Amino acid sequence: MDGYPAQQSNFPEGVITSRPDLHKIEEGPITELRQFFWDCLAEYRYAYKLYCDALEISSMWFNHAPAGSGFGHPLHRHPMSYLSAVYYLTTGAPTFFDDPVTPRTYDTLDVFQSDMMDREWGINEKFDAEENKLILFPSWLRHYSGRQLDNYDRWTISFNVFPCGNINVGTNLDTDNDVKLAFTGLWFRLNDKIQRLKQLVVLGEPDTVGESITDTFQDLSVYGIIAQIVQQKKFK
């Protein structure tokens, strides 16, 4: 990590990490890797048809487990993020992803235990560390790495990702499919309001959600205006 931000210990299992701003560096080999990550994120966004203008890296850092150190990442997730990733610069100890159903049996407060790296964490999926492999995963998915017991260093880069730009509005409504999707969403919302008016005005049922008749009419008006904007493809 020569020439990159200072290292710090990753409590409590000893992995050494850099500061999380590697994505802001504008020179050196890291810029080529960053471009590769951006290309992969663009491919991911296209493959999963995500309605946002781009997936942007919000933080990025090195992880270093020295040879034979027994260091590893404890079970954790990445809060305040949409997607996360690990890129293997070298081989080394594998990464394990926890069954997302398993945390239902845990307390919401995590308290790390001294033997946590040696415990069985229930059902999980193992991914071997292979040089130049990139894994993208939901940030809420709990995961950990095995202890680095081999006689060589384990190096990885991790980063977090946020969607940016127009999110969940069909990008810029450039295609007929974008417009169709927007109209579908509007239809659902308009129908919700019509059913609410039926409940309050036609059937005379009491308000149980704290939304008055006036509020419902106003919401219908706003959705109607949005529908006109979508129809004219002026949502920029």
pLDDT per residue over 26-84, tens digit each?
888 899 999 999 999 999 998 998 888 889 999 999 999 999 999 998 888 998 899 99
1-10, 22-31, 133-142, 152-161, range with the lowest pLDDT: 1-10
Q: Global pTM?
A: 0.65
Structure tokens at 213: 């008749």
pLDDT of residue 110: 59
Residue % of the chain over a pLDDT of 90: 39
pLDDT at 216 over 90: no
Averaged pLDDT of the chain: 83
Max distance between CA atoms of the chain, in angstroms, equals 76
Q: Which residues contact 16 (CB under 8 A, 6 or more apart)?
A: 7, 8, 9, 10, 63, 64, 65, 66, 71
Average pLDDT value for residue range 166-177: 68
pLDDT of residue 129: 94
Gap between the Cα atoms of 180 and 182, Å rounded = 5
Name which of 93, 210, 218, 217 is nearest 150 in CA terms.
Answer: 93
Query: Which one has a higher pLDDT value, 160 or 231?
Result: 160
pLDDT of residue 7: 60
Name which of 120, 114, 116, 67 is nearest 90 in CA terms.
Answer: 67
pLDDT of residue 60: 96
8 Å CB contact between 140 and 91 = no
pLDDT at 107 over 60: no
pLDDT of residue 236: 54
pLDDT of residue 153: 95
Name which of 90, 92, 87, 78 is nearest 35 in CA terms.
Answer: 87
pLDDT at 144 over 60: yes
Q: H/E element holding 42?
A: helix 30-47
39-43, 75-79, 148-152, 176-180, range with the lowest pLDDT: 176-180
How far are the Cα atoms of 13, 97, 103, 104 from residue 109, in angstroms, in the given order? 19, 19, 11, 12
pLDDT at 133 over 90: yes
pLDDT at 122 over 70: no
Residues facing residue 155 across a β-bridge? 64
How far are the Cα atoms of 10, 21, 137, 138, 139 from residue 103, in angstroms, in the given order? 23, 30, 17, 15, 14
